[in-house]
Chains A and B, each alone.
Chain A
Amino acid sequence: MNNRKVELFVGLFVALAIASMLVLAMKVADKGIAGNGETYNLHAKFDNIGGLKVRSAIKVGGVTVGRITNITLDADEFTPVVTLTISKEYDSFPETSSVSILTSGLLGEQYIGLQPGFSFDDESGILQDGDFIEDTKSALVLEDLIGQFLFSKSED
Chain B
Amino acid sequence: MKALVSLGASTLDRIAALGRATAILTGALFAKPTPMKSFPLVLKQIYVVGVQSLLIILVSGLFIGMVMALQAYTVLVSYGAEDSLGPMVALSLLRELGPVVTALLFAGRAGSALTAEIGLMKATEQLSSLEMMAIDPLRRVIAPRFWAGVISMPLLAIIFSTVGILGGHAVGVDWLGVDSGSYWSIMQATVEFNQDVVNGIIKSLVFAFVVTWIAVFKGYDAVPTSEGISKATTQTVVHSSLAILGLDFVLTALMFGTY
| Bound-complex Cα distance A23 to B65 (A) | 15
Beta-carbon nearest neighbor of B188 in chain A: A30
Instruction: Please report which residues of chain A, range 1-44, place their CB below 8 angstroms from some CB of chain B when the two chains form the complex.
Output: 3, 6-7, 9-10, 12-14, 16-17, 20-21, 23-25, 27-31, 34-35
Is there contact, CB below 8 Å, between B196 and A53? no
User: In this assembly, does B75 line the interface, its C-beta being within 8 Å of a C-beta of chain A?
Assistant: no
The answer, among A10, A12, A16, A28, for a CB contact under 8 Å with B191, is: A28
A-B contact number at CB 8 A: 75
| Bound-complex Cα distance A6 to B156 (A) | 17
- Measured between beta carbons, the chain A residues less than 8 angstroms from B195 are 55
Instruction: Please report which residues of chain B, range 22-56, place their CB below 8 angstroms from some CB of chain A when the two chains form the complex.
Output: 40, 43-44, 46-47, 50-51, 54
Is there contact, CB below 8 Å, between A35 and B46? no
- Measured between beta carbons, the chain A residues less than 8 angstroms from B152 are 13
The answer, among B40, B51, B196, for a CB contact under 8 Å with A29, is: B196
Contacts known (A17-B159, A29-B191); A53 close to B259, Cβ less than 8 A: yes
| Bound-complex Cα distance A119 to B234 (A) | 71
Contacts known (A3-B40, A14-B155); A23 close to B191, Cβ less than 8 A: no
Tell me, rounded to whole Å, the shortest Cβ–Cβ distance linking A85 to chain B: 12
Tell me, rounded to whole Å, the shortest Cβ–Cβ distance linking A99 to chain B: 19
User: In this assembly, does B209 line the interface, its C-beta being within 8 Å of a C-beta of chain A?
Assistant: no
Beta-carbon nearest neighbor of A34 in chain B: B192
Contacts known (A29-B188, A35-B194, A64-B189); A9 close to B47, Cβ less than 8 A: yes
Chain B residues proximal to chain A, CB less than 8 Å: 40, 43-44, 46-47, 50-51, 54, 90, 94, 152, 155-156, 158-159, 161-163, 165, 184, 187-189, 191-197, 259
Chain A residues proximal to chain B, CB less than 8 Å: 3, 6-7, 9-10, 12-14, 16-17, 20-21, 23-25, 27-31, 34-35, 53-55, 57, 64
